[in-house]
Amino acid sequence: MIENNLKKAKLNHKITPIDLLQKFSKGYNLEIEDKNIITEVPKKSKN
């Protein structure tokens, strides 16, 4: 799924799915009323 989205956006030559997951692993995924919301990475964990 992630790989397909990267291919559609023509970004698969710049970033791998693993790189993407590592970069945003400190973000939060909230499920509210059957909708998924991905929050921003907190300022303290960006480094």
Query: pLDDT digit string (tens) for 5-45?
Result: 889 999 888 888 888 887 777 777 788 888 888 777 666 65
Alpha carbons 47 and 39: distance in angstroms, whole number: 17
User: What is the reported pLDDT for 36?
Assistant: 83
Alpha carbons 12 and 44: distance in angstroms, whole number: 28
Question: For tokens 């991905």, what's the residue?
Answer: 38
Whole-model pTM: value is 0.47
User: What is the reported pLDDT for 22?
Assistant: 76
